[in-house]
Structure 1
């Protein structure tokens, strides 16, 4: 158990002293960029899904006829 506690305390110490954290303004702007690209990617995925759903529906309706 002492090894686990030592590992966790050393990890926190390294995070405090050796990691370079970005400025808050940079974090905000990058978060906005990630959110915008996430929405765009979701819309693109939805569009491709709708296209293939309609294409398959049309293909199977063509086979029935």
Structure 2
């Protein structure tokens, strides 16, 4: 039981004293980067899906 309390005490100390948290501007910038990357990857996957679906429909029509 002592190890568990030491773990929580040290975890709390690390979170409050050693971790550097981003300020509001950094948080907004990081969020925009993640949002842009998500939209870009979503668009790429959608285009790949459209191309493969069209290609498969063409192949199925042949046979």
Question: What TM-score comes out, normalization by structure 2 length?
Answer: 0.86
TM-superposed CA distance for 1:5, in Å, is 2.5
Match of 1:54 in 2: 54
| Cα-to-partner distance string for 1:13-60 (whole Å, 9 max, x where unaligned) | 111111122211111111011111101111110110111011011111
Give the alignment's Cα RMSD to 1 decimal: 1.2
Corresponding pairs, count = 63
Structure 2 unaligned residues grouped into runs of 5+: none
Runs of 4+ aligned residues of structure 1 deviating over 4 Å after TM superposition are none
Question: What TM-score comes out, normalization by structure 1 length?
Answer: 0.84
Q: Distance in 1 between matches of 2:3 and 2:47?
A: 51
Match of 2:23 in 1: 23
Q: Distance in 2 between matches of 1:59 and 1:18?
A: 59
